[in-house]
Amino acid sequence: MAAVFTGQTALVTGAATGIGRATALALAAEGARVWINHRNQHDPAERAVEQIIASGGCAWAIEADVSDPAAVAAMFEAIEAHGPLDLLVNNAGVILEKPFLETSEEDWAMVLGVDLAGVYRCCRHALARMQPRRSGAIVNVASDLGFLGREQYTAYCTAKAGVIGLTRSLAREFAADGIRINGVAPGPIATAMVSPEHMSDEWMAQELAIPMARLGTPEEVAAAIVFLLSPQASYFTGQLLGPNGGSWMGA
């Protein structure tokens, strides 16, 4: 039986590490040719490419800061010069833990610039090309904190709430074009983004009140992203799946 994404090309942003890396590997395992976007992470990005190629897949690394409009434009030009982009995963993100009154204009612009404007920008470039072809699928990586909010993380939570609104609005606007746009809103996942002191299962259960009382894995999020991009999810658009151990059950 043919793999799910045979003949299709995917771009995963921030794919040198964590959830993005796991997603790139999972898409490649299902037959997609994968562009591994990164910012200043040549070695881990190349290692992911090598791992995919060693497994019989096809992948390339491509550097671009998603907060830089010119760099993103150049990335999409370079990708489309190889062939049409079918699948986009907006995963690149940064987090900032700071009391709100210490969150400067620069902090705010930095977090929103990557976590929200980066998603807007990549969606625009992708959709401008997908719309005339009347095909494509996008998954945006939000967070359960986009629903819940969290003290000391206001810029991050605001950006992720924005990603949810962006995802739902684009889903409505592009449904008639045959393009599905969904999101995932993970709970705490064991990646570099979660600080080591917050890694214990006890902390998950008591401080975060997570019913499953453990961190998720990047692969558990990747599985949800792969599903949403696949034909199995053909009636899903504007949806947020929550690989979150039960941290948020409202959407």
- Decide: is 247 part of the binding site for ligand NAD (CB under 6 A): no
Q: How far is the CB of 187 from ligand NAD (least distance, A)?
A: 6
Interface residue with ligand NAD, options 18, 57, 242, 245 (CB under 6 A): 18
Of the pair 32, 157, the CB lying nearest ligand NAD is at 157
Interface residue with ligand NAD, options 9, 11, 20, 136 (CB under 6 A): 20
Site string for ligand NAD, 96-125 (x = CB under 6 A): ------------------x---x-------
Radius of gyration over every alpha carbon of the chain, rounded to an integer in angstroms: 17
Q: Which residues pair with 224 in a beta bridge?
A: none
| Token reading at 78 | 């370079």
- Decide: is 158 part of the binding site for ligand NAD (CB under 6 A): no
* 156 part of the active site: yes
Among candidate residues 120, 153, 156, 235, the one labeled active-site is 156
Of the pair 18, 57, the CB lying nearest ligand NAD is at 18
- Distance CA(245)–CA(215), nearest Å, equals 8
Positions in 56-75 near ligand NAD (CB under 6 A)? 65-67
Of the pair 103, 131, the CB lying nearest ligand NAD is at 103
Task: Name the residues that contact ligand NAD, by CB under 6 A.
Answer: 13-14, 16-20, 37-39, 41, 65-67, 91-94, 114, 118, 141, 143, 186, 188-189, 191-194
